[in-house]
């Protein structure tokens, strides 16, 4: 699966360009799929808020929420339902649609892609079928060719693994480009539980050289916002001033790099 995905890196890069452009203009990257493909989209999208602090990646699954945990195979046959689901989340021409279908012919996905194009939105297609019907509907087609499944027709296996790899790359590379990651650190992580609180304190300690007690104190003073805490510690400024600088900067990562004297690293 990995070698198959590697061959699609140029297409993935073009899709990331479209995602970054959409999100910078106030839009979102919206994954659309049915069955395994749709669940993978929801999985990747749901991780973007805690990891990158953003709701700009959205997953739309045919038959949700029931189909998230139960198989509802018939729901993928209704192209009009995809349009209704996209309208429900107020999909617009500013958004990027990523249609996900292992075989590339799910009517639900095709219907959503066709409608997205009709309103002027950019569309990416993710499939493992080189002859997929979705190709003409996509501005960029990402097609890792993984070959026949170990269990014939069970696209949750090789195709599903390849799709998950691609989705990981789309969201992660887009968030790096948008400055929501500093080097390999999750600077936009949401400190919503003890594990993530400790992770935030550790990142703050590593980046600023303070001890864990100081890191914890600064995180509390920052309102539990890691980028604010980093800037407060590095520049020795107030929470309000740190928040102001972060709002004015092009990206969170750029503001922090400049404060830490890291240039473009």
Catalytic residues: 47, 76
- The one-character DSSP state at 148 is S
Alpha helices in the chain (DSSP H): 2-6, 9-24, 35-52, 79-88, 107-118, 158-177, 194-208, 212-221, 226-235, 239-248, 252-260
Which residues fall within 8 angstroms of residue 31, CB to CB, at 6 or more apart?
Answer: 38, 41, 42, 44, 45, 57, 58, 59, 60, 98, 100, 167
Cis ω before 114 (30° cut-off from 0): no
The rounded distance, in Å, linking the Cα atoms of 145 and 128 is: 5
Which residues fall within 8 angstroms of residue 29, CB to CB, at 6 or more apart?
Answer: 19, 22, 23, 56, 57, 58, 95, 96, 98, 170, 171, 174
Beta bridge partners of 33: 61, 100
Sheet holding 96-100, edge to edge: 57-61, 29-33, 96-100, 122-126, 140-142
Rg of the Cα trace of the chain?
A: 20
The rounded distance, in Å, linking the Cα atoms of 127 and 129 is: 6
């Amino acid at each position: 699966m990995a070698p198959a995905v590697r061959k699609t890196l140029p297409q993935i890069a073009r899709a990331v360009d479209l995602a970054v452009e959409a999100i910078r203009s106030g839009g979102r990257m919206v994954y659309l799929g049915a069955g395994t493909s749709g669940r993978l989209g929801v999985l990747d999208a749901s991780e973007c808020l805690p990891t990158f602090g953003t709701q700009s990646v959205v997953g739309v699954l045919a038959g949700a929420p029931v189909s998230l945990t139960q198989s509802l195979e018939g729901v993928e046959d209704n192209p009009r339902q995809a349009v209704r689901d996209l309208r429900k989340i107020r999909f617009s021409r500013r958004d990027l649609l990523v249609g996900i279908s292992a075989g590339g012919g799910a009517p639900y996905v095709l219907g959503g892609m066709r409608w997205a194009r009709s309103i002027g939105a950019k569309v990416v297609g993710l499939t493992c079928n080189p002859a997929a019907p979705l190709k003409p509907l996509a501005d960029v087609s990402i097609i890792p060719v993984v070959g026949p499944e170990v269990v014939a027709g069970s696209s949750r296996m090789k195709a599903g693994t390849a799709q998950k790899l691609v989705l990981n790359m789309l969201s992660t590379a887009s968030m790096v480009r948008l400055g929501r990651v500093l080097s390999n650190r999750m600077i936009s992580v949401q400190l919503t539980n003890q594990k993530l609180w400790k992770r935030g304190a550790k990142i703050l300690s590593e980046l600023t050289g303070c001890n864990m007690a100081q890191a914890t104190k600064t995180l509390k003073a920052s309102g539990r916002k890691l980028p604010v805490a980093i800037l407060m510690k590095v520049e020795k400024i107030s929470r309000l001033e740190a928040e102001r600088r972060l709002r004015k900067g092009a990206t969170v990562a750029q503001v922090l790099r400049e404060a830490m004297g890291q240039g473009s690293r």
